[in-house]
């Protein structure tokens, strides 16, 4: 009989295997984008955020820096700040430095090792702040640490990650956040705005090939964790803008007719066939309000001078 940790790891791998095989059995093969973010994938995404072509992080930080006092004032005092998909928490430091009264900070991330490292670094910088990391798939219901009565829960979802969801799944996710935050809660969220196609494609297909490496890393993870045998040299990174659905799409295109073994299954790929690995929907302010208004009311919107990106503070209805 295995230990509790071994049993948990086996259950996680079984769930992963089921999701992966289900996606690769579709006519348009897919992989869940959440599996990008193992330790290497999380580090590669941090590298992407530093690229010249990847305007999103840079622009979001400019908006945060230029409006941080107003943003902190809107969030208020005596709050529990819950960051969903915390990454390295770079943007969060701005909030932690400017919030007048914060009860606790809860970084939530699917990558357990990366999260532990981030939380430890932050605790060293903010020794009196109650930092409680939660390793979880935040797209599913999960438990938050208990707080004293009167503490207001504010979810923080930066980086335009909401764009990775389909419109239908985004609506379901926002409902989950509304439940998490509660009646008096709020949501500080970043999202990417619609713009010219060339700028969008360059952001997801950079000249240094970092995004391509990030995209292919999901195959490396499947090789390692599901005993798959993907040959990365036989797959090509593709970034395309789907005008009908207002979204950037990332694909991995098979360069040959081939078979790939995953766990106990064998998957056939035709030459030119793709695996759809990620979406990044782009919104107007009007279309984003339509998405959020069932559960939240818009309190304030901050954008950059070129209207490339937006940050909004929403309150639960």
* pLDDT one-digit tens code per residue, 84-113: 986 656 788 999 999 988 999 999 987 777
Give first-to-last CA distance, the chain, whole Å.
49
Greater confidence (239 vs 85) lies with: 239
Task: Give pLDDT, residue 241.
Answer: 97
Q: What integer best gives the mean pLDDT of the chain? A: 92
Distances (CA, A) of 159 to 7, 16, 285, 302: 34, 25, 16, 14
Res 80 pLDDT > 50: yes
* CB 158, CB 91: distance < 8 Å: yes
Dihedral-angle region of residue 160 (phi above 0 means left; psi in -120 to 50 means alpha; beta otherwise): left
How far apart are the C-alpha atoms of 275 and 35, rounded to whole Å?
14
pLDDT-wise least confident of 9-13, 50-54, 270-274 = 9-13
Task: Give pLDDT, residue 100.
Answer: 84
pLDDT exceeding 90 applies to what percent of the chain?
A: 79
**Confidence category of residue 14, pLDDT binned at 50, 70, 90:** confident
Per the document, the length of the chain is 317
**Confidence category of residue 4, pLDDT binned at 50, 70, 90:** very low
Q: Where are the domains of the chain?
A: 7-36+198-281, 55-195+283-316
pTM score: 0.85
Task: Give pLDDT, residue 13.
Answer: 59
Task: Give pLDDT, residue 88.
Answer: 59
* CB 112, CB 8: distance < 8 Å: no
- Mean pLDDT of all residues in 175-199: 96
Evaluate whether the domain defined by 55-195+283-316 bears CATH number 3.40.50.150.
yes
Strand partners, 191: 310
What tokens does 313 get?
């503070």
What tokens does 173 get?
């996710």
């Amino acid at each position: 009989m295995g230990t509790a940790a071994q049993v948990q790891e086996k259950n996680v791998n079984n769930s992963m295997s089921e999701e992966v095989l289900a996606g690769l059995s579709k006519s348009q093969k897919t992989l869940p984008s959440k599996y990008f973010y193992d330790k290497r994938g999380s580090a590669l995404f941090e590298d992407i955020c530093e690229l010249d072509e990847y305007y999103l992080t840079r622009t979001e930080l400019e908006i945060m820096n230029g409006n941080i006092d107003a943003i902190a004032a809107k969030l208020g005092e005596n709050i529990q700040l819950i960051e969903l998909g915390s990454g390295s928490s770079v943007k969060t430091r701005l909030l932690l430095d400017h919030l007048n009264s914060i009860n606790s900070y809860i970084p939530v991330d699917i990558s357990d090792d990366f999260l532990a490292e981030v939380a430890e670094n932050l605790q060293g910088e903010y020794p009196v702040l109650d930092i409680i990391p939660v390793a979880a798939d935040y797209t599913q219901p999960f438990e938050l640490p208990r707080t004293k009565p009167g503490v207001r829960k504010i979810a923080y979802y930066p980086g335009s990650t909401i764009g990775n969801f389909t419109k239908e799944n985004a609506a379901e996710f926002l409902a989950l956040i509304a439940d998490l935050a509660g009646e008096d809660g709020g949501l500080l969220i970043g999202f990417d705005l619609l713009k010219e196609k060339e700028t969008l494609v360059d952001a997801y297909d950079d000249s240094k090939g970092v995004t391509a490496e990030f995209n292919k890393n999901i195959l490396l993870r499947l090789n390692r964790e599901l005993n798959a045998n993907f040959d990365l040299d036989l797959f090509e990174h593709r970034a395309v803008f789907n005008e009908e659905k207002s979204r950037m799409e990332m694909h991995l295109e098979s360069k040959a007719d081939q078979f790939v073994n995953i766990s106990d299954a064998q998957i056939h790929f035709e030459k030119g066939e793709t695996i759809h690995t990620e979406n990044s929907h782009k919104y107007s302010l009007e279309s984003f309000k339509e998405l959020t208004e069932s559960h939240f009311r818009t309190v304030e919107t901050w954008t950059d001078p070129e209207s490339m990106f937006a940050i909004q503070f929403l309150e639960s209805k």
